[in-house]
A and B are shown apart, each in its own frame.
Chain A
Amino acid sequence: MAVHSFETMGTMVSIRIADADLGTIDAIPVLNEVEHNFAQLNETFSLYREDSEASRIASGELALADSSELMRDEYARALQWRDRTGGAFTPHRPDDVIDLSGTIKAVAIDQAAGILTEAGFANFSVNVGGDLTTAGNQAEDIPGWITGIVEPSDRNTLLAAVRLTEEFPAMATSGSAERGEHIWLRPETTKEFVQASVIANDIITADVLATAIISGGSETLNQITQDFSVAVVTVGLDGAVQANAKFQELVAR
């Protein structure tokens, strides 16, 4: 397996390409394209860059209505997720600034996977700061991609290991102990979970729903497991673990 790592969006990207795909395609230009795509999205959407389009909207210099089509499309996408999660996920910061970082990182992961697939790679994973999507198998004798979930009370150990496969290739973990700047607890919600992992058919769904569970608590958790085909495992404030049946199916054995 080959690993390519680089830094973007304030975190690390690790792209793994399985042996089966090595040697058949020149990976370097493809990885460059992936890296460039991350950088471009970051330039547009980062609120840490004063010159980004997102920052210019936040400062009032640019009206949302006059922003790029990309910006408006991504804002619309985030608003759809707000509605689908009963408001537990939202692109609006408490100070009303529009912050799309909650979806853009996942969009970037999704697009990276698209670029790799387009180039002919069939067995890879794209992991951005612990949120990832996968394709194919990690090795000839290991179907899918075995992915560990960090134990929130001891980040050097694993809570569980799951096998990501074609039907459920993407996984995201949100934690209130980590950089939670795109998670805002709803005023009426007390914090119930220190960590939530969601496995889904695509990384955007997984990422948004993991965030929503942290933000919305058990009410949102129940809504999500009923409304979406996802695997979920949560760790409560008291360390209690909950999971749904689909998660139990995916536990690597």
Chain B
Amino acid sequence: MRARSAFFAGMGSAAIIAIGWQAGVGTLVSALPESQASASGTSNSASSATTSNSSTSTTDTSAAAPAATTAPVASGPADGTYDGSVVNTRFGTVQVQAVISGGKITDVIAVKLTDADRKSIAISQQVAPMVRSEVLTAQSAHVANISGGTYTTQAYLQSLQSALDAAGFTG
């Protein structure tokens, strides 16, 4: 259990980002570590999920929001809040802010999600770009199965899955 507690701490900021995306930034603090067991509850209501902060600055229209948010990290930025590019999609514009602290992304704030019409808002809530390194950081402890494409037998033998098999992994 000790290892898992440490993982909770590590995942804190990731959870913030994840929930921040779906609910705006205000409600998420209560949803952190301890609520893990009830993760199946649906918080998927259809209410508007738009903006938390208004933002100024950057209006270059590059193609991909995630690249815009991760790029500053790779170059070792100073602490602060960085505006992502405004990205035009067919459903409207999207912009996020990344909060950097200690060289890591500690939060991602949706400044603007698409709101061209109600359907677009629904889409924004359902699938959103995510910051890979923070939100999806994998914790390999306790992983019992691997999902990933259809392995050929040969590829399988080289895969993480077979490594788990060979180790007699016991969870």
Contact = CB atoms under 8 A, between A and B. Distances in A.
B151 A178 contact: yes
Interface string B1-40: 1000001100100110011011000000000010011011
A148 B147 contact: yes
A134 B152 CA distance: 22
Nearest to A236: B64
B136 A241 contact: yes
B102 interface: no
A178 B150 contact: yes
A113 interface: no
A87 interface: no
Interface residues of B, number: 63
B160 A130 contact: no
Given A138-B144, A248-B19, A12 B150 contact: no
A129 B156 contact: yes
A196 B18 CA distance: 18
B144 A175 contact: no
Contact of B145 (A147, A151, A156, A248): A147
Contact of A129 (B11, B66, B151): B151
A225 B156 CA distance: 30
Q: Chain B CB within 10 Å — which of A14, A127, A179, A232 has the most?
A: A14
A240 B145 contact: no
Nearest to B138: A158
A242 interface: yes
Nearest to A18: B171
Contacts of A127: 145-147, 161
Given A238-B67, A253-B15, A253-B36, A159 B145 contact: no
A238 B156 CA distance: 25
Interface string A132-174: 1010001101110111111110011111110101011001111
Contacts of A25: none
A245 B149 contact: no
Contacts of A125: 144-145
A243 B147 contact: no
B127 A161 contact: no
Interface string A16-37: 1011000000000000000000
A221 B126 CA distance: 10
B57 interface: no
Given A241-B129, A253-B8, A132 B67 contact: no
Q: Chain A CB within 10 Å — which of B33, B137, B144, B162 has the most?
A: B144
B11 A244 contact: no
Contacts of A1: 144, 169-171
Given A12-B161, A129-B151, A167-B40, 7 more contacts: A11-B153, A12-B162, A14-B161, A148-B143, A160-B138, A250-B39, A253-B139
Interface of A: 1, 3, 5, 7, 10-12, 14, 16, 18-19, 125, 127, 129-132, 134, 138-139, 141-143, 145-152, 155-161, 163, 165, 167-168, 171-175, 177-180, 195, 197, 221-222, 225-226, 232-234, 236, 238-246, 248-253
